[in-house]
Structure 1
Amino acid sequence: MTSKERVLKNYTFQPVDRFTIDFCAESKVYELLRNYYGVPDDLALMERLHVDFRYPKPNWIGFPLIDEQGRRTDYFGIPRAGVGDFGYPLEHPLAHVNSVAELDAYPKWPSPDMWDYEQYAEDCARFEDYAVLGGVWGWFFEAACDLVGMERFFLLMYDNPRLAHAILERIVSFMERTSEIMFQKAGRYIDICFTGDDYGFQSGPMMSPAMFEEFVRPYLQRIYDVGRRHGKLIMHHSCGSVARWIPTLMEMGLNILEPIQVRAAGMDPRRLAEQYGGRLCFHGSIDTQYTLPFGTPEDVRREVRERVETFRPYGGFTIAPSQHLLADIPLENIVAMYEAAWEYAWL
């Protein structure tokens, strides 16, 4: 059974030889593990860890991702800096926008033609034996918060909903069209439409159900629908406490929830399995908030075994961390996780 076959069967609740395995980490962790295992590159590392998924990305060919002050930016022109690979906004370029006309005048709106789709299709085609995840990373709500400032964007949803919707529309129209072209060019190689956006804090939902229905659902539905039109499973990365939104996301077409931040409110794996097992797939849940950074290798092994036992009756589970692995996690704990994954994944 190839990884592609295993993932597609696992995520449609058909019998498989083992649960699937995935890996996500900052680049320093890749380097540490390459050195530990003595492998030459990241693809060889994925083979060594028995990872069933591949995540090709298109190269950016648009405006330079650097601002006038020499700071790196994302493709919305937001300057970022941070620890490792994860950059947080240094400023919010639309913080003082008060009208749609000012919004339209922003010079750093990206265009769908700013990606190299030919290169993207070639990269996707390389992984014929693996589950390939594709489509645009649909972080529209986070992007709006980063462009305007989170506090201000939340206030705009109440005080100036017309402007809030205009910001979301500019972002989502770009993402929707980009994703459509990605599937047109490379859809025959892609198995899962993978998107991500956050709607939960550690303690609970980020907003009321009414706000979610107005400012998230219609835009997220457009992202999901691109993948659905192309016959793909829908996988959504959403951090924090998203238990409140799971029924709605399933109603919208969600197949796979990732990364399962187990220490957030309402995200206990046993409870989620009992409520949604056999109807929704779960990808992640090996705890990066406590067990991996602060536990022992045996604690990590025990948690992997417990997760497999929790989801074994239902299927549709992938062993993976509950967030990207950071370089402050002891290397022996990461190694223990993937050794345990290979040992306990078999069904």
Structure 2
Amino acid sequence: MKNITTFIITLLFIACGNQENKSESVKETETNSNIITISKQQFESEKMAFGELTEHQFYNTVKTTGIIDVPPENKASVSTFMGGYVTKIPLLIGDKVKKGQLVASLQNPEFIEIQQNYLEISAQLSYLKNEFERQKTLYNEQITSEKNYLKAESTYKSNLATFNGLRKKLQMMNLNPANIEKGEISSTINLYAPIDGFVTKVDVSNGSYISSANEVLEIINTDHIHLELNVFEKDILKIKKDQKIQFRIPEASTETFEAEVYLVGTFVNTDRTIKVHGHINHDENTNFITGMFIEAAIIYGENKEISLPKSAILNNENNAFVFVLKNENKDAYIFEKIKITTQLEDENFIQIENHQSLKDKKILIEGLSMF
């Protein structure tokens, strides 16, 4: 019994000692909560990496949005001067066309009537001209009256005006008056591409009737695409010609492209924005499409600041921290978590205001996802 009692007392003393050691260990962990130990094996497996403070170029920018567009002369709407039924529409959206290429054919009995009227007046005009000149000669010789002379002049000039009007109308319908004068009458007219480019819209089909108010198709030449940006009134005084623009197309790519400010608008729109026109410095292989929505930053100033990659920053409850190497041994790295204040930032870097305490220190810049 004596031995059993002694054994139990010994166990109680050991348990109390372990509890005291555990309490001291917790206290020490809480006291040193900013000290973190990472094994070298874990450092490698998590693909962690060291870095240092660096001087990085930050840009002062005006953030804006807009679209990719083309100048008005690079956009053409193909329509007809006279209505008709579509008999041929050989193009699809996306087809490339050359200036003067056939894009549609229309048919209408009215086309025949116009050509008939032109031929009739053309036949009469020669006679009326001769009659006018004859009456003029007789009047000058005082053989005929002024009334006959003026009547012949009026009839000739009236028909001449009608003749010239019909001739111009035929030319606008892409019909050759010389061929019509030979008796070649057609019930069909052709529409041709006014510019080089790509078909972006087709609004008709075979057999449909279109009037002069309807658009047959649209052609856009993308050789001179540009940016049309909307800059708010409060920022417009910062914008000048030749400033650099960085832009991206969020719906299509994460890549950033470059452009330059070419024109700054002089009119404030109802939404208090001003149009800014930018020329794109793009690779010939980049296939921008008109109408694409873009996000852009116009650079109006720049300055170098002490910074770190964003991957080196741990954000926690509106506070920012970095991990600085405090010590190392054979098996582990010992880091100290230090609070920092930040200022400027861009896509990859962030300015460190209290950088003096981090000078010449090794800083953990990769692998913070585990914290």
Q: Report the TM-score range of the alignment, normalised by the length of the smaller protein.
A: under 0.3
Q: Which one has the largest radius of gyration?
A: 2
Identify, as 1 or 2, the structure richer in helix: 1
* TM score, norm. by length of structure 1: 0.18
Higher relative contact order (CA 8 A, sep 6+): 2
